Amino acid sequence: MNSDDKRLAALRRLLAEAHQKLGLKLGFKLWDGSHVPAGWPEGGITIALRDPGVVSALIRKPKLDTLLNLHITDRISLLNGSIFDLAGARPEGKVGRLARTIPKGAVFDVVRRFIFAPGAAPSSVEHLKGDEIARDGAPATNKANIAYHYDVSNAFYRLFLDEEMVYTCAYFTEDHGDLERAQRDKLDMICRKLRLKPGDRFLDIGCGWGALVCHAAQHYGVEAHGVTLAEEQLALAREKVARLGLEDKVTLHLKDFTLMEGEFDKISSIGMFEHVGIANHPTYFKAVNRLLRPRGLYLHHCISRRAKKTDKAFNKMPAEYRALVRYIFPGGELDHLGMSIANLERNGFEVHDVEGWREHYQRTTRLWWERLEARKAEAEAEIGPERTRMWLLYLAGCSLAFERGGAMVNQTLVSKRRKGASGLPLTRGDLYQPD
């Protein structure tokens, strides 16, 4: 038996032990075409290892970043299933405790045979990474961070978004899977929460492809302003405004919103705040306060993490979170709900409503994943196979995070604080039982 055969034999033994001890509901396929367990069905959910360098890389650098790198470059792939199936196949019980039952001799045998084994190292995916620490809040930095994510390609986003190109959490008024309907309902809920009315000057911070400002102008008669740093989004949004004949009602601005001038009756920020960075929160909220008229309403919609027992514990960046800002949202940083509320109150706002939309975003990201998976070949032609695999993993991971409560999303309605009546209705019946 030569050295290559001995490596394969050692790996098969270890994977067989892991399969038995952990009670795995999936199999493995190795680069020589063999399966572990040996009788694992061809149609069963399977993790494929494409070359021996995969094992060597994971031994030398056993980190999530290594695993993501190998998946993005298709050296580890999932056959006959999705990441949702993989999550469903997770072993019952404590994985760490079960793993300790695997014979140490089997582990050591694989380590010693693969750690110096020949084989390709993980391919560089530096071209897919953003700058995870670019959070100085400068307009140029903000623009670069936004361009990394949102200027991927308008054609790419069309593959999985709804017809209005809304790239934020949808709102499901009942149990259904109609993304177009859910996004229309979301746009209308935002307008109702802000009590938009004809003549209001309305500002949407991070206006994306213009769906909200156009909806507000068409259906609520407002003078709508949208501001963005994403040039490709802006170009498509301006085309939409012209197509709908809304040039006299909708104005779009390409600039950092902190440089905006004027006063607005209502302001929204829907899924933009995650890009700001915690150190820049005071600047952000002061700018919103400056732009909002007294007793004006502001809707703060953002993704957050759960608060921890201490700020020190909260500020630690888990591996999954670090990967998110490295590959998807450079410069991004999530706060917790209590931090948002405290910052709003410290910066001159009165909090009126907080509504959790976690399960709405779980549904939204799952539908996005399904739509992108169905058009995977088109996505690969548009942005390349590596970035497509990265996005599919991102959308599925987000859906699972929202499902399990690892990530949250909240809508917080506030007014610019003044003494006396807020001007809001005494109940919220108008939101959930509109005429």
Known catalytic residues are 398
Q: Using CB atoms within 10 A of its CB, is residue 2 exposed (0-12), middle (13-18) or buried (19+)?
A: exposed
Buried b or exposed e, range 94-118, using 16+ CB within 10 angstroms:
eeeebeeeeeeebbebbeebbeeee
Q: Which of 237, 235, 233 is nearest to 217 (CA)?
A: 237
Token digits for 42? 């061809």
Token digits for 395? 């959308």
Gap between the Cα atoms of 418 and 348, Å rounded: 9
User: 46-49 and 76-79: which strand pairing?
Assistant: antiparallel
- Residues facing 225 on adjacent strands: 203, 251
- Residues facing 36 on adjacent strands: 28
Q: Which of 212, 197, 271, 269 is nearest to 246 (CA)?
A: 212
Q: Which of 265, 255, 223, 264 is nearest to 241 (CA)?
A: 223
Neighbouring CB atoms inside 10 A of 180's CB total 13
Long-range contacts of 241-245 (CB under 8 A, 24+ apart): 241/210, 241/214, 244/214, 244/218
Token digits for 392? 């599919």
- Residues facing 349 on adjacent strands: 416
